[in-house]
Chain A
Amino acid sequence: MKSRWAGLIIPVAIVVVLALMPTFVNNYWLRIATGALMWAGLACSWNMLGGYAGYINFGQSAFFGLGAYTTALLMGDPINLPFFVTIPAGIAVTAICAVVVGGPTLRLRGAYFAIATWAFAEALTQFANVMNFTGGIGGLNLPPFLNERFFYYTMVGAAVLTYLITWALFEHSRFGLKVKALRDHEAAAEAMGINTSLVKLQTFVLSAVTASVFGAIFAYWVTFINPKSVFGGDITDQMVVMVLLGGLGSLRGPAIGGVGLFVINRLIWMHWGDTAFYIAILGAAIVLVVLFLPDGIAGLFTRRSTKSGTVLDKAVGKLVGGGEGGRG
């Protein structure tokens, strides 16, 4: 069982570094670390459905925003609930919406689901823009709580929990086998008794509520939200790109992509004061990864096949061809 303990070294080291981080970095870098953890968690949430089940969600920002708005509304006047009470409320709202959106569309081919999620996020943005109770375009303020360590450790807790759940559920359980089976061949999975529609919906709901938790923490952290800052399509784009670069359908892929891209983004912003340059780097990186590293950066660390039928093939196959696409 030597190898089993060896496998624990990296996770334990990560947790120790995360726990001690506030003692050796200043508040500026602590904020960057908090943001990096949030993006690693969001990328992981997108990867649950996109990477493990092969269903591309173009509207994940909807659930991030639902968590953020639920917390903002419940913490603000006249309700004034404490922060940690608002998180389960956001989870409940998000789960209901995910069932309503995913229930009918996950039975169809991937393209219908992708369009439905994208449209749902757009609809929520417009809804938040025009309604009074959401503060319209002006958005909502939350009671300020200026304690960087609190938000850092809250984000550590959420991110570690997200990765633990993903590890246990998708990498080490029957449920994970069912999810990956339906990604690779839906008809064969059905022929083995797997209720693929149900498993997809369960995965989608888990993915959505995870994003909503990060939305709730984000809202309280930045103390001000508006429709663009929490429902914006660029939030989903970031998650997709982080997972693609890091590695679809793996545990470390979203962590590498999420932390790596967010830190690069901040460094570019620090040196040039603008992130237009970041978009150009991102574009080039995506092209290179799709062409040469279909398993993402995480694929560099594992012995993987170069043949057709990668996770990327499966996800794209579901999107454009539906059925059992991906075998070239």
Chain B
Amino acid sequence: MASTSSPQSGSAPENRASDAILAVRDLYRHFGGIKAANGVTLEVGRREIAGLIGPNGSGKSTLFSLVAGTVKPDSGQISFDGHEIAGMNAHRIARLGLARTFQIPAMFDNMTVTENLLAAAAQGHWHGAKERAAETLALLKLEPVAENRASDLSGGQQKLLEFGRVVMRQASLILLDEVTAGVHPNIRKIILEAIARLRERGISFLIIEHDMEMVRNVCDRIIVMDAGRVVTSGAFEDIVRNSEVMQTYLGRPQ
């Protein structure tokens, strides 16, 4: 472990418990012999945008599924906005104010773009949903395809719609799983602007991202995962200076 390196170690408790919206402690989940979560400990502060990086298979997406309740942990605690949510059903966690995107866009294929947005608000946040759907369509420049079926959208538009549904949820913490991967620079710009606007409203983010430029520009803090554990966390510059991390993540010594 990198416990002696200058960025604080992920396995040591961080001194931000009071203002953390998400606190994960000693989270374990094994799939057969694969240790997808092998003692994950991390926190996301209120109004913070935390970036989650790590090589493929390091357990980032599994961590999202564990936090969102899609996958149940073997052991460990997850505290979200004052509630202990480890093992809770996904829809109950969502109702507490957690929203997520999926790595592969999870469209409601046979529904229109507008219906996809409305469905995201169908549980709980229905008041004014039609107006918010219209705003979201405008914000993400999806108006021309508002009445198209989601399955007819391009890959980039589906990424936008996936993001738009999260915006509709009025969540306090949003988990974004490679939301700009493979999308056109124009669409990426739209998403980044929207993230900035949502943060101004007090929403926190945990973002899985492979694009280091985006990580540098958007994230307040970087959390590095490898082999189902948090290796280290800290400011982007500190992480980049740490040669061990760069070897883990980029496979090249500095």
* Interface residue tally for chain A (C-beta within 8 Å): 32
Q: Would A177 and B115 be within 8 Å (CB), given that A193-B123, A194-B123, A305-B151 are in contact?
A: yes
Tell me, rounded to whole Å, the shortest Cβ–Cβ distance linking B95 to chain A.
4
Chain A residues with CB under 8 Å of B122's CB are 174-175, 177-178, 181, 192, 194
Chain B residue nearest in CB terms to A324 = B106
Chain A residues with CB under 8 Å of B106's CB are 185, 187-188, 191, 324
Once the chains are docked, how many angstroms separate the CA of A177 from the CA of B122? 7
Chain B residues with CB under 8 Å of A177's CB are 111, 115, 118-119, 122
Contact at A191–B123, with CB atoms within 8 Å? no
Contact with A along B72-102 (1 / 0, CB 8 A): 0000000000000000011100110001101
Task: Tell yes or no: B144 within 8 A of A by CB.
Answer: no
Q: Would A184 and B94 be within 8 Å (CB), given that A191-B100, A192-B165, A309-B151 are in contact?
A: no
Tell me, rounded to whole Å, the shortest Cβ–Cβ distance linking A128 to chain B.
38
Chain A residues with CB under 8 Å of B102's CB are 187-188, 191
Contact at A314–B109, with CB atoms within 8 Å? yes
Q: Which of A180, A189, A190, A326 contacts B115 (CB 8 A)?
A: A180
Once the chains are docked, how many angstroms separate the CA of A185 from the CA of B99? 15
Q: Which of A180, A307, A324, A326 contacts B119 (CB 8 A)?
A: A180
Q: Which of B70, B111, B124, B126 contacts A187 (CB 8 A)?
A: B70
Contact at A184–B70, with CB atoms within 8 Å? no
Tell me, rounded to whole Å, the shortest Cβ–Cβ distance linking A176 to chain B.
9
Contact with B along A315-328 (1 / 0, CB 8 A): 00000000010110
List A124-178 residues whose CB lies under 8 Å from chain B.
Answer: 174-175, 177-178
Contact at A193–B124, with CB atoms within 8 Å? yes
* Interface residue tally for chain B (C-beta within 8 Å): 30
Contact at B123–A311, with CB atoms within 8 Å? no
Chain B residues with CB under 8 Å of A207's CB are none
Once the chains are docked, how many angstroms separate the CA of A193 from the CA of B70? 12
Task: Tell yes or no: B169 within 8 A of A by CB.
Answer: yes
Task: Tell yes or no: A310 within 8 A of B by CB.
Answer: yes
Task: Tell yes or no: A27 within 8 A of B by CB.
Answer: no
Tell me, rounded to whole Å, the shortest Cβ–Cβ distance linking A247 to chain B.
12
Tell me, rounded to whole Å, the shortest Cβ–Cβ distance linking A202 to chain B.
13
CB pairs A–B below 8 angstroms (11 shown): A177-B115, A188-B106, A189-B108, A190-B94, A191-B100, A193-B91, A195-B91, A308-B151, A309-B107, A314-B110, A324-B106
Report which A residues bind B (CB closer than 8 A): 174-175, 177-178, 180-181, 183-185, 187-196, 249, 304-305, 307-311, 313-314, 324, 326-327
Report which B residues bind A (CB closer than 8 A): 68-70, 89-91, 94-95, 99-100, 102, 106-111, 115, 118-120, 122-124, 126, 149, 151-152, 165, 169
